Amino acid sequence: MADPGFRGPKQIYQAFQWSMQGLKATYQAEASFRMEVYLFILLLPCAYLLADSHIDVILLIGSALMVLLIEIINSAIEAVVDLVCGEERHELAGRAKDMGSAAVFMSQVIVFLVWGLIAYQNLIA
């Protein structure tokens, strides 16, 4: 299907609405996403207190937002796998879910490293 290109504010608004529906659906369906949202809300003011520069703020908030982003992608993968496979167990389906979970874990490791290094740099060193 050919891309018609930019069509105007109406399409941008529609895309925004779909994005909000996706956020709402993820929040309602995924307990882990809700927990990560609450943690992000707690970390947000901490980022401003911990940071010594605008770059620090961007790294702290950006890394925390990355966890939410990866969790949304992981939830989408899980939803599609569940839709296609239903109750049937399949090695590739399990692998896809495990890989999505690993991506979330790795994003959490990045948050730990970023926050830990900036905290060390700005509070201890």
Task: State the catalytic residues.
Answer: 71
Residues in Cβ contact with 96 at an 8 Å cutoff, skipping those fewer than 6 apart? 77, 81
* Cα 119 from Cα 46, distance rounded (Å): 10
CB of 71 closer than 8 Å to CB of 26: yes
**Tokens 């994003």 — which residue?**
107
**Tokens 């996403």 — which residue?**
33
